[in-house]
Amino acid sequence: MAGKFELYKDKAGGYRFRLKAANGEIVLVSESYKTRASADQGVASVRKNAPSDARYERKASSSGKYMFNLKATNGQVIGTSEQYASEMSRDAGIEVVKKTAPDAELVDQTG
């Protein structure tokens, strides 16, 4: 199974997407968008920006966990990772996004 984007509606009625790796693990989640068109643009932006290492903001939380944000060329966050136990596992998550996002299938779960 290849990686995939899942487009879904959140509890507030907004549109969100998540990127799942080939093993089914969620590696990136979006903010909530008001329209389907905006969420589709978010997916397109992830596809475009994912291969560029410069687009990743690597962070550590106050609780000692590691995570990353994927940013568009304008600096806006377009996706956020889960929290990882180590820098090495976070960096592996970034590599999965780089390789998976550009060609990942989009699965519409909004219906």
Residue 61 has a pLDDT of 85
pTM over 0.95? The answer is no
Note the pLDDT tens digit of each residue in 58-105: 999 888 999 999 999 999 999 999 999 999 999 999 999 999 999 999
- Which structural domains are found in the chain, ordered by start? 4-108 (2.30.29.80)
List pLDDT tens digits, range 23-44: 999 999 999 999 999 999 999 9
22-51: b (≥16 Cβ within 10 Å) or e: eeeeebbebbebeeeeebbebbebbbebbe
Note the pLDDT of residue 67: 97
Contact 17, 4 (CB under 8 A): no
